[in-house]
Structure 1
Amino acid sequence: MTTPLEDAMDTLIRIFHHYSGKEGDRNKLSKGELKELLTSELTDFLSGQKDPLLVDKIMNDLDSNKDKEVDFNEFVILVAALTVACNDFFEEQLKKEEF
């Protein structure tokens, strides 16, 4: 039996590989694959965004080796950053509720 954290790690890996490899390298996300992943898996995150260049900006920020693709290590940085931002938001909300 796996733990919730192990399940979460497995889910991250499966989601990444579900979208990677549809174009080009099967272990990396192209810009199109990244956009599909963001649109399908992070709908709440993107729903309030009006910037038409948002995916380009995210791609440029994540693509640390500048190969115009996002590998799993680069993808995990996005997930970690969004998770930290969500945690920070919820902590702020809890502080507001205490007063």
Structure 2
Amino acid sequence: MCEEQVQPTALELAMFTLCGVFRKYAETDGRTDTLSKAEVRLLLKKEMPQLFKAAQENQEGGKILEALDIDKSGEMDFKEFMVAVSCLTCICQSICCSKK
């Protein structure tokens, strides 16, 4: 008996994508559980280029990156990454909805 292949939903795909993006950049230094500052910058530059450009042009950009390091470890773990992505997603959603 063959089991039917179930396609993941859009939300499941988004979750898998977030996990994959985090791992892709975290493993550049051999540690897959955290992002170094350099890895965070590379991730932002490649995956969020408009946001990265805006942060580079804004003097507060560095402070924002520091604030994303919630536990002040000098690195970003997956939970901190998800908080950052969630906050940015909420900001994008509010901008999109306010244009109606």
TM-score, shorter chain, exceeding 0.5:
yes
Q: Which amino acid aligns with 1:76?
A: M
Distance 1:36 1:21 in 2: 12
Q: Deviations along 1:67-91, whole A, 9 cap, x unmatched?
A: 1100000001111011100110011
Distance 2:77 2:68 in 1: 9
TM-score (norm. length: structure 1):
0.84
Distance 1:68 1:26 in 2: 15
What's the counterpart of residue 69 of structure 1? 75
Identity across matched positions, percent: 33
Q: Which runs of 4+ in 1 moved over 6 A?
A: none
What's the counterpart of residue 3 of structure 2? none
1:1-99 map, 5 Å: 1-23=7-29, 25-49=31-55, 50-51=57-58, 54=61, 56-94=62-100
- Return 5+ residue gaps in structure 2 as ranges: 1-6
- How many aligned positions are there? 93
8 A contact 1:28–1:69 mirrored in 2? yes
- Return 5+ residue gaps in structure 1 as ranges: 95-99
Distance 1:36 1:53, change over 3 A: farther
TM-score (norm. length: structure 2):
0.83
**RMSD, aligned α-carbons:** 1.6
8 A contact 1:24–1:30 mirrored in 2? no
